[in-house]
Structure formats: structure tokens, C-alpha cells
Amino acid sequence: EFPTDAGVIPRAVKQIFDILEAQSAEYSMKVTFLELYNEEITDLLAPEETTKFVDEKSKKPIALMEDGKGGVLVRGLEEEIVCTATEIYKILEKGSAKRRTAETLLNKQSSRSHSIFSITIHIKECTPEGEEMIKCGKLNLVDLAGSENISRSGARE
């Protein structure tokens, strides 16, 4: 059974899989998870032995880029291909453990960073004319850093 205290991301993931599994179309899904802290991007899915701020393939820093369609992408992020909601929950847990948190007087685990968990879905469907059509969608789920009253919370960088 789904926990009643589940957050937005697990609920969104469950809903996505419920909808996809009710359709007869083929689909594929991949996720990324990044942290933004003091204007630096960290890949929360990167293996521990790699440098967090460098794309190991190109040896260039992980960076925000503009794509040809006016959108924004992050060069160098690890992408995990997923097939089940359980896989996503495990990835989310693994990445969340790497986030920067600090205890304040009001919150034992206050996030000190912003994070973006992105889910990209490709769905292959057949048109009424029998042609294959691929639809792509991306959902960005953003968790903003805590914004406590410093005098009440005792928050420090």
C-alpha cells in the first residue's frame, strides 16, 4: 500500500505509472537528479568515485546550456533508465541522501540547496493511418532550499 505521508515526487511517479500501464502504447522513461548549491550544480546520480562537478565523458564542468529550441538543458548529467516506480523510489532515495542538509533549531534536516528531479518519457503510438508517432514529455519536480527566519531557526550556511 502507498504510504499516506508520501511526498509530491512519489505521488507523481505513481500517477504516471498508473496512466502509462493503462495504455497499450510502448514507452521508455529516464530520470536525472541534480542539486544547485551556491551556484554550483551537483549530479546526485553520479557514481561516488567521479568528480561531482565534471562530466566524466567530456571532462568539462557540468553546465546549463540552451538547446536549439530555446529550452535549457544540463550538460553532463547521469541519466538513469527506469522501468518501474520502485526503481525511481530507490534512485530518489539514493540521490536525496547526497543532498546538503543542516540542522536548525526548527528543522533537524533542513535542505541547504535546491534540487531538480526530472522525469523524461517517450511514448510510441500508432496513428489512425498506421504510422508510428513518438511523443516526448518532461516533468521537472523542484525542491527549493529552506528559507527560514535566521533569528528563529539559527540557520547557518
Backbone angles phi, psi at 30, to 5 degrees: -140, 155
Rounded-to-integer distance, Cα 156 and Cα 37, Å: 14
Name residues whose C-beta falls within 8 Å of residue 78's C-beta, 6 or more positions apart in sequence: 32, 43, 45, 46, 47
Which grid cell is 96? 536525496
Q: Are the CB atoms for 74 and 125 separated by under 8 Å?
A: no
Q: Are the CB atoms for 26 and 126 separated by under 8 Å?
A: no
Q: What's the pTM value of the predicted model, to 2 decimals?
A: 0.79
Q: Where are the beta strands (DSSP E) in the chain?
A: 26-37, 40-43, 54-55, 60-61, 63-66, 72-75, 80-82, 101-102, 110-111, 114-126, 132-143
Rounded-to-integer distance, Cα 76 and Cα 62, Å: 5
In which band, very low, low, confident or very high, does the pLDDT at 87 lie, cut at 50, 70 and 90?
A: very high
Residue ranges per domain, the chain?
Answer: 27-82+105-145
pLDDT value at residue 153: 45
pLDDT tens track for 115-151: 999 999 999 988 889 899 999 999 999 998 877 655 5
pLDDT tens track for 4-53: 888 899 999 999 999 999 987 899 999 999 999 888 888 999 887 555 55
Tell me if the domain spanning 27-82+105-145 has CATH number 3.30.200.20: no
